Amino acid sequence: MPRLTLSRQSLPNQSLPHQSLPNQSLSRQALSRRSLLGAGVTLFGGAFLPSVAAAAGGQDPRFLTIILRGALDGLSAVPPIGDPDYVAMRGALALSTEGPQAVLPAGGFFAINPRLARLHALLTAGDALVVQAVATPYRERSHFDGQNLLESGLTQTGGNEGWLNRVLTATAGRPIAQGQLTQGQMTQGEAPRGLSVAPTAPLIIRGPAPVLTWAPQFTVSADADTVQRLLGLYDARDPALATALRHGARMDAEANAQPARNAGGIGAPARFAELAAFAADRMARPDGPRIAALSVDGWDTHAAQGPTTGRLGQLFGFLDEGIGALQAGLGPVWRQTSVLLVTEFGRTVRINGTAGTDHGTGTIAILLGGAVQGGRVIADWPGLAEASLFAGRDLAPTTDLRAVIKGVLADQFGLSRQMLAQTIFPGSAAVSPMAGLIKTG
């Protein structure tokens, strides 16, 4: 079956994507995609992108980022079963290619964890892709600093504003529905274009651009009159509280009164499908938010990792359920939407002493949605041989996560290279946007 070579190539762009094709039954579709990529080699070499891409996603696009907090083990989600060192390095955590827990095929070299069946179906249908061996610029191993860099989009920790908020600013004035908002007007009376499905906005979407936050709740609701009186007081004394309450009250009024499920806090994995369904429902509305963020906790699998039937397998199940909820809820706007799933870093290649893995470096990013030019696993695969590992223990990162995000933002929102390199991800001029992630035409 056709498969591109997975060795490193000496082409100018370090993050040149290689592809592996989903499986043989897809060969026709895969071949056309391959020829498309073949024709687009110069694009990978760094061709300038037009400021407004004529992409399917270019029409009133939706963009949702999901942070998988705790450092997802990319080698369990999208195992490189074709790597000669995979089984030896992973030991008891190596996934099987046969039996009841057999991996799902994704081109032969890579495979998909059997708990991620919906993701696999999207990949097969060409609406999802995976980037392997990816990492932010962060090379230490603190969750909290790693998430800070992932969310701030900076190269040093300590940022207090998120890159998704800067995207909101950069795209401000875009119509929410065609012709509904005029250029540049964004007052408190109008709906913010950003949404955070959490009681408080996470760093990634925090910043000067207004963002709605929402979380399911179950309580009596302060009445409109009381809220108005409070707003009057806050407008005079405390603008920050005024802004927060104003948006919170509006969101609350719109939300369907749903009985809350007693399944833990807002980031609890078991609640992910519920939150995903809410985010999708909002984003599908003509006047709804266009850019959103949500989080799923729990990926810090130091012990008894259980990639298929254990703890991590259960987490993948929740994640996959949420992916299904997104697809169903986005419905008519699915083809305009891209969903990015990211984590702060990966985990050690070798299993630790307790059937788990410790903090590592390279991992995966997942991109899915009708706007995504999917059907492939993109990897400049570094290999799992001892000598190839980063710091002798981690999957070596060969693709800068910012290249992936910049590629999406360039093609879906038409953000310029300069904007991406200076404003959205300051200091990232050397990291070219990855081309071809979004469907054209």
CB of 204 to another protein, least distance (A): 13
Binding segment for another protein among 31-39, 166-174, 248-256, 428-436 (CB under 8 A)? 248-256
Binding mask 58-77 for another protein (x = CB under 8 A): -----------xx-------
Of 219, 259, 387, 441, the one binding another protein by CB under 8 A: 219
Structure tokens at 293: 């963020």
Residue among 129, 90, 72, 87 at smallest CA distance from 106: 129
CB of 345 to another protein, least distance (A): 13
Distances (CA, A) of 314 to 119, 120, 309, 320, 339: 15, 16, 7, 10, 21
Contacts (CB under 8 A) with another protein, residues 389-428: 391
Q: How far apart are CA 357 and CA 224, in angstroms?
A: 51
Where residue 251 falls (left for φ over 0; alpha for ψ -120 to 50; beta otherwise) is alpha
The DSSP output letter for 271 is: G
Structure tokens at 319: 């994640």
At residue 437, what is the residue type?
L
Dihedral sign of CA atoms 419, 424, 430, 432 in order: negative
The SS3 call for residue 353 is: coil
| 256 sits near another protein (criterion: CB under 8 A) | no
Of 34, 303, 426, 427, the one binding another protein by CB under 8 A: 303
Beta strand segments in 47-156, E: 62-68, 104-106, 110-112, 128-135
Helices (H) and strands (E) in the chain, counts: 13, 12
| 31 sits near another protein (criterion: CB under 8 A) | no
CB of 315 to another protein, least distance (A): 14
| 141 sits near another protein (criterion: CB under 8 A) | yes
Long-range pairs for 48-52: beta carbons < 8 A, 24 or more residues apart: 48/417, 49/410, 49/411, 49/417, 49/433, 49/435, 50/414, 51/414, 51/416, 52/414
Binding mask 327-366 for another protein (x = CB under 8 A): -------------------------xxx-x-xx-------
Binding segment for another protein among 23-31, 247-255, 398-406, 428-436 (CB under 8 A)? 247-255
Q: Determine the size of the site formed for another protein (CB under 8 A).
A: 65
| 212 sits near another protein (criterion: CB under 8 A) | yes
Q: At what angle do helices 117-125 and 311-330 cross, to 10 degrees?
A: 50
| 251 sits near another protein (criterion: CB under 8 A) | yes
| 430 sits near another protein (criterion: CB under 8 A) | no
| 175 sits near another protein (criterion: CB under 8 A) | no
Binding segment for another protein among 36-44, 245-253, 400-408, 418-426 (CB under 8 A)? 245-253
Structure tokens at 154: 């900076």
CB of 394 to another protein, least distance (A): 10
| 244 sits near another protein (criterion: CB under 8 A) | yes
| 281 sits near another protein (criterion: CB under 8 A) | no
Residue ranges binding another protein (CB under 8 A): 69-70, 140-145, 157, 160, 196, 198-201, 206, 211-215, 217-223, 225-227, 229-230, 232-234, 236-238, 240-241, 243-249, 251-252, 264-267, 297, 300, 302-303, 352-354, 356, 358-359, 391
